[in-house]
Structure 1
Amino acid sequence: MHPAGTPRSTVVVITWQGREHLGACLDALGRQTRPHRVLVVDNASTDGTRELLLEHPTRPVVLRTATNLGYAGGLAVALPQVHTPFMAWLNDDAAPEPDWLEELERTLDEQPSTAAATATLITPTGSVQSSGVRLTAQGYGADRSQEGTDPPVEGSGTATPSSDVPEVFGLCGGATLLRTSVLRAIGGVPAGFFCYYEDTDTSWRLRLAGHDVVWAPRARALHQHGVSTKPGSPRFHRWNERNRLLMLLRCAPAEPAVRELLRFAAITALLPLRRLRGRVVPSAANFRVGLRLGVLVEVLGRLPAVLVERRRIGGRSRVPRQVVWQRWAGR
């Protein structure tokens, strides 16, 4: 038990060149109704972020890195510095409502079997950007933008939360709360992902270890989305495609993991032929042959280490990979 007024959560904010938007995030944290600790990982910013952090009235604890470690790397270096029962992940371009943390803590308090509660991210236009993460039939992690719930499936091998809190496949790393001890027990955060899919990979490992993930609808945060990483850019697509394949090779059943790797390679090989035949090829960066070849080189280069990690993840698992896949893929 923690005495009244003692922080139970450490809110970890990862920032890079965040001076223009980080202040609003810290201001919102300063208005939270629950006591908490704030730890900002400054990924070697050079735009004045350092000065903003020194001057901000909330006086957060700051961990500065020598190089940009990305979102995943920042979370990984922060985890050893978290000594509270809960660890919150919060994007630096998100501004949570005053009861955001209170709602997340209350959700986990009421759900002892739940390891993570994911918040509702709201766009500047007022629509729901994320109410957690779903798993597509191709193994992509995608934001649940609807406010509906996923119905339980009998025989799934995982517990269904006992209250009306909606269960989701996974957490959205932009605004979520996890049990610190559980996160450590499943292997922490995949620092090598740099950016994107660290949340879906973590959700996979939570599920495999037999833990629940739920959505806390009333824990809301305004999210600018992609201020630093520019969705649609070549780097965005490179990280997304690479990390999806790495995540599947680490966590998913062998059949869909190998299938998706081969499918990615086959599409890459066929793209030049489609262009030669005059067929339309999407203009998005993830259909550029050079980018896709780079992804394949990175994934194959990491394959020996990934297979070692896969074995470790399997050794910690209580739920078969196939059970998790059948329960959630395509939902």
Structure 2
Amino acid sequence: MNRPTLSVVIPTHNGRHLLPACLESLRRHRPEGLHLEVIVVDDASLDGSAEWLHAHAPDVRLIRLERNAGFCVAANAGIAAARGSIIQLLNNDAEVCEGWTEAGLAPFQDSSVGSVAPLVLIRSRPELVDSAGDCYAFFGWPSKRGHRQSADRWRLEPAGEVFGASASSAFYRAEALRKVGPFDPSYGSYYEDVDLAFRLRWAGYRCVFEPECRILHDVSATYDHGSPSLHRRMAKNAEALFWSNLPAGWLVAALIPHLGFLVVQFAWKVVKGRGRPFLLGKRDAIIELPRLLKLRAHRKQLARSAVAPLSFRLGLVPVGAAVDHIAQPIQAGAYVNP
């Protein structure tokens, strides 16, 4: 059997109501002649998702997990099963638009490109951007480029290199994922795609933003953003990113700005009544610090066999994005987990 050009991996948990629109968009906009496989990973859903797929989408490859293991594990199961040379991770609450494959696949003609970030629009308000790729400030601040800005502006933005791609709809070179490893399950959800973007950077791969590849996304409609456990996990994951991934020179330069950033974040969390989960998440990160520092050895190993000179594209984040991030950080998508 010929290897597919593109494998689309859709993790889902209790998302049967979201799957019809997602899968229909793939069928409607699939180009003639494209060898495409669609893989849905059912993460122990209790809403009949698997039965619905058997009845209504027999052409979809279904992987069923017996135990609800979370977004990272489900995504990794799909990545491991994918046969395409390019893998797109697509949220169950997303829809692809016309021309998405042609634009999303074109940058991979350059062998140094490891991932592609589409222009992701808010499905309920498509005149607004959800993400035009991810960026990372050197003092420990992941954020979405263009979040809630005018889509008309970003449609005119030229294609170009960005720090990373949002896992809601990112394209990845399968060979690059085999080299750096898939998502780190310890993240559970939130910032796992930023961690992967860092590892791809350590291996010398670039990420390209492609505005002609457009995706509609519901922006985490089914996450409970008031959940203390979610805010605790986000606080821990942010530290995991910072301590395990920054190059040594950046890490030293960022220590004092990072501390100042944490003070500002904590003050904001206290105002919002989320100070306790924030502190508990930071405590969790301190407990894990020895493990996080050991991960740096893996990053150095990737650098020794990098496909191109390393470029991390770290910097500052505009004030507007800063305020937006504190109030509403990077989100992975509509993936319901306990």
Is the TM value for this pair above 0.5?
Answer: yes
> Secondary structure of the residue that 2:199 maps to in structure 1?
helix
The aligned runs of 1:244-283 (5 Å cut-off) are 244-253=238-247, 254-255=251-252, 259=256, 281-283=270-272
The match for 2:202 is: 208
The match for 1:64 is: 64
CA distance in 2, matches of 1:264, 1:49: 42
Matched, 1:242 2:236: yes
CA distance in 1, matches of 2:120, 2:199: 23
Q: Which amino acid aligns with 1:242?
A: K
State the identity as a percent.
Answer: 27
Q: Tell whether the 8 Å contact from 1:30 to 1:58 is kept in structure 2 after alignment.
A: no
Q: Tell whether the 8 Å contact from 1:70 to 1:194 is kept in structure 2 after alignment.
A: yes
Q: Which runs of 5+ in 1 are unaligned?
A: 152-163, 275-279
| Alpha-carbon distance change, 300 to 260 in structure 1, aligned in 2, over 3 angstroms | farther
The match for 1:313 is: 299
**TM-score, length-normalised on structure 1?**
0.80
The aligned runs of 1:152-231 (5 Å cut-off) are 165-231=159-225
| Alpha-carbon distance change, 48 to 257 in structure 1, aligned in 2, over 3 angstroms | farther
Q: Tell whether the 8 Å contact from 1:17 to 1:228 is kept in structure 2 after alignment.
A: no
- When the two structures are aligned, how many residues end up with a matched partner? 299
CA distance in 2, matches of 1:264, 1:168: 23
Q: RMSD of the alignment, in Å?
A: 2.9
> Secondary structure of the residue that 2:272 maps to in structure 1?
coil
Match for residue 23 of structure 1 among 16, 20, 23:
20
> Secondary structure of the residue that 1:20 maps to in structure 2?
coil
CA distance in 1, matches of 2:93, 2:316: 30
Q: Tell whether the 8 Å contact from 1:116 to 1:179 is kept in structure 2 after alignment.
A: yes
> Secondary structure of the residue that 2:211 maps to in structure 1?
strand
Q: Tell whether the 8 Å contact from 2:11 to 2:78 is kept in structure 1 after alignment.
A: no
Q: Which amino acid aligns with 2:271?
A: P
| Alpha-carbon distance change, 250 to 216 in structure 1, aligned in 2, over 3 angstroms | same
Q: Tell whether the 8 Å contact from 1:73 to 1:192 is kept in structure 2 after alignment.
A: no
CA distance in 2, matches of 1:238, 1:132: 25
Q: Which amino acid aligns with 1:87?
A: I
| Alpha-carbon distance change, 234 to 281 in structure 1, aligned in 2, over 3 angstroms | closer
The aligned runs of 1:49-198 (5 Å cut-off) are 49-57=49-57, 59-109=59-109, 111-123=110-122, 124-126=124-126, 127-145=128-146, 147=153, 165-198=159-192
Q: Which amino acid aligns with 1:119?
A: P
The match for 2:10 is: 13
Q: Tell whether the 8 Å contact from 2:160 to 2:209 is kept in structure 1 after alignment.
A: yes
CA distance in 2, matches of 1:262, 1:250: 16
The match for 1:303 is: 289
Q: Which moved more, 1:306-315 or 1:86-95?
A: 306-315
Q: Tell whether the 8 Å contact from 1:241 to 1:295 is kept in structure 2 after alignment.
A: yes
TM-fit CA distance, 1:266: 5.9
TM-fit CA distance, 1:115: 1.0
CA distance in 1, matches of 2:74, 2:215: 21
CA distance in 2, matches of 1:284, 1:37: 45
CA distance in 2, matches of 1:64, 1:179: 24
**TM-score, length-normalised on structure 2?**
0.79
TM-fit CA distance, 1:231: 3.9
| Alpha-carbon distance change, 258 to 190 in structure 1, aligned in 2, over 3 angstroms | farther
